[in-house]
């Protein structure tokens, strides 16, 4: 009764079709999406948050948003995959900023540069393709993007932390992202076939 | 803010590196600007690639169970005029009248039509069945709640004619209990002044007790967290 769009072949259905079916209340389509993306979502949240309980909360929130908000997804604004991962990143960033507010002491330690946050962040990038692409950026671009994406800092926080004008950080971030787009572009297309 | 000024912030937006008020400004611009929208789409794909730079860790299987339990569909509550509900246990002829007046309250509008047809079908089959039985739920709160069930057809419906509002953040959750093992049969909220029916599809011969707890909404919980406020043996 529940499977309004009965996706018997959910194994081969596109992410977009699964998302559309889940938005209509199809639990099996949702389950298939969970099985495809829970690992990526969980791993990204774990990379950013490091606290198992917070990571589980973020993962659960992401998938409940996928379930409830799937109909907000607009294919003209990117793939379902990037939509889900953007949701995961967004919620992880919210959680990491919240964590930092609560642990103001740890923040001040990080901000004074006693720990090598950037170096650690870059060293722990695991996917070979992503690591190579990041390695091909200039050091300052890599630093800006890593601090933003994996550490959840705002561009203003990054400017403060590095003692740079905000405009410089914006430029580095933007140039870096455009460069990554070219570097990762070919493999992104390859993956979608 | 102009298109040119905002364009500078688009990479940061795709990286979630804007303060909330800056992000809102970008979003307002995106609603009006096709060019920036397609740039965000492209940069989101890039950001999505960065996600695979995180060391891959398998999430715990308990998390999967929890997430799936949270989205398990809620049986659509069927509301019907009070006068008809009074005669519910009575004449089968009234059944058709009741069904004609069914209205379905659903969170998901698009599913409403399918769910309504299915719910009506279930209730019709149940009420028309000569083997259907009724149990009144009793407990710690005043209530008019009956469980009509037909073990032969694996169909049941909870008929709620009187039950107070559980509170804003809460829902009632219906449980079927086999031995010591409660299984969720859905969540519902009473509709003030209107009886509702919660359809249930289950192998009713397996269960000995039907119970209702108050749980946190909107999806309920995989296991009861409170003692039942109402129950009945079946
Ligand atoms: Zn624009």
Confidence (pLDDT) at A188: 54
Q: Do B111 and A174 lie within an 8 Å CB cutoff?
A: no
Confidence of residue A176 (pLDDT cuts 50, 70, 90): very high
Asked whether the beta carbons of residue A126 and residue B55 sit closer than 8 angstroms, the reply is: yes
Considering only the C-alpha atoms of chain B, give the largest distance between any 2 of them, rounded to a whole number of Å. 73
Strand order in the sheet with B230-233: B138-139, B230-233, B209-216, B170-178, B181-188
A1-102: CATH number: 1.10.1740.10
The string of pLDDT tens digits covering residues A55-83 is 999 999 999 999 987 777 888 778 899 99
Are B6 and B39 contacting, i.e. CB atoms less than 8 angstroms apart? no
- As a CATH number, domain B133-233 is 2.60.40
Work out the pLDDT band at A105, boundaries 50, 70, 90. low
Q: Give the separation between CA B206 and CA B52, rounded to whole angstroms.
A: 46
Contact predicate B75/B184, CB 8 Å: no
Q: Which two tokens stand for residue B206?
A: 């397996």
Starting from the edge strand earliest in sequence, which strands make up the sheet with B155-162, in order?
B103-105, B77-79, B196-201, B155-162, B144-150, B133-136
pLDDT higher for A31 or B105?
A: A31
pLDDT score, position B147: 87
pLDDT at B79 over 70: no
Closest CB to B52 among A63, A130, A145? A130
Decide: B14 and B47 in contact? Cβ < 8 Å: yes
d(CA B110, CA A23): 9
Distance (Å) from CA B12 to ligand 1 centroid: 14
Question: What would the mean pLDDT of A23-37 be, rounded to a whole number?
Answer: 91
Whether A106 has a pLDDT exceeding 60, the answer reads no
- Give the mean pLDDT of chain B: 78
Q: What span, in angstroms and rounded, lies between the C-alpha atoms of B118 and B201?
A: 11
Q: Please provide the DSSP assignment of B54-107 as one string.
A: SPP-PPPHHHHHHHHHHHSPPPPEEE--HHHHHTTTS-THHHHHHHHT-EEE-S
- Across residues A18-38, what is the average pLDDT? 91
CA B70 vs. chain centroid, Å, equals 9
Tell me which residues of chain B, numbers 177 to 216, contact chain A at a CB-CB cutoff of 8 Å.
Answer: 201
The pLDDT tens digits of the residues spanning A107-157 come to 454 544 445 666 666 666 667 788 889 999 999 999 999 999 999 999 999
Is A43's CB within 8 Å of B43's CB? no
In terms of average pLDDT, the best of A46-50, A182-186, B94-98 is A46-50
DSSP-derived letter for residue A70 is G
CB contact under 8 A, A133 and B49: yes
Domain ranges of chain A: 1-102, 105-193
Give the ranges where A25-79 is alpha helix by DSSP (H).
27-49, 52-69
For residue range B82-132, list pLDDT tens digits in order. Answer: 544 444 444 454 554 455 444 433 334 445 556 556 666 666 667 667 777
Cβ atoms of A66 and A83 within 8 Å: the answer is no
Please, what sign has the CA dihedral across residues B16, B18, B20, B26?
Answer: negative
Mean pLDDT computed over every residue of chain A:
83
Closest chain A residue to the Cα of B42, Cα to Cα: A78
Query: Boundaries of CATH 2.60.40 in chain B?
Result: 133-233
Predicted confidence (pLDDT) per residue in B198-220, tens digit: 878 788 888 888 999 888 888 88
Q: Which CATH class is domain A105-193?
A: mainly alpha
User: What is the pLDDT, as a whole number, of residue A112?
Assistant: 46
pTM: 0.60
């Amino acid at each position: 009764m529940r499977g309004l769009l009965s996706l018997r072949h959910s194994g081969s259905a596109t992410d977009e079709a699964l998302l559309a079916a889940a938005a209509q209340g199809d639990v099996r389509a949702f389950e298939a999406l969970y099985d495809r993306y829970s690992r990526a979502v969980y791993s990204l949240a774990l990379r950013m948050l490091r606290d198992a309980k917070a990571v589980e909360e973020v993962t659960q929130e992401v998938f409940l948003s996928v379930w409830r908000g799937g109909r907000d997804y607009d294919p003209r604004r990117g793939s379902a995959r990037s939509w889900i991962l953007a949701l995961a990143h967004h919620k992880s960033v919210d959680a990491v900023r919240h964590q930092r507010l609560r642990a103001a002491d740890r923040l001040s330690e990080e901000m004074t540069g006693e720990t090598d946050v950037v170096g650690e962040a870059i060293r722990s990038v695991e996917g070979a393709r992503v690591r190579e692409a990041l390695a091909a950026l200039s050091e300052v671009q890599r630093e800006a993007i890593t601090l933003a994406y994996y550490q959840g800092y705002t561009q203003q926080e990054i400017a403060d932390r590095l003692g740079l004008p905000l405009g410089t950080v914006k430029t580095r971030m933007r140039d870096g992202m455009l460069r990554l787009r070219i570097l990762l572009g070919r493999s992104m297309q390859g993956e979608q076939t | 803010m102009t298109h040119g000024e905002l364009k500078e912030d688009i990479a940061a937006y795709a990286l979630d590196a804007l303060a909330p008020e800056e992000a809102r400004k970008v979003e307002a611009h995106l609603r009006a600007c096709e060019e920036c929208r397609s740039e965000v789409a492209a940069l989101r794909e890039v950001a999505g690639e960065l996600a695979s730079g995180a060391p891959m860790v398998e999430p715990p299987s308990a998390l999967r169970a929890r997430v799936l339990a949270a989205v398990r569909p809620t049986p659509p509550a069927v509301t019907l005029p009070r006068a008809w509900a009074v005669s519910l246990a009575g004449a089968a002829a009234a059944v058709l009248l009741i069904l004609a007046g069914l209205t379905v309250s659903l969170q998901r509008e698009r599913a409403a039509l399918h769910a309504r047809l299915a719910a009506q079908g279930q209730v019709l089959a149940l009420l028309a069945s000569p083997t259907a039985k009724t149990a009144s739920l009793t407990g710690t709160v005043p209530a008019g709640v009956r469980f009509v069930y037909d073990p032969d057809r694996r169909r049941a419906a909870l008929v709620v004619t009187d039950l107070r509002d559980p509170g804003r953040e809460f829902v009632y959750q219906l449980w079927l209990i086999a031995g010591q093992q409660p299984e969720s049969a859905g969540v519902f909220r009473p509709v003030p002044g209107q009886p509702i029916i919660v359809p249930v599809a289950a192998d009713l011969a397996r269960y000995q007790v039907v119970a209702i707890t108050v749980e946190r909404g909107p999806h309920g919980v995989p296991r009861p967290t409170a003692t039942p406020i109402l129950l009945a043996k079946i």
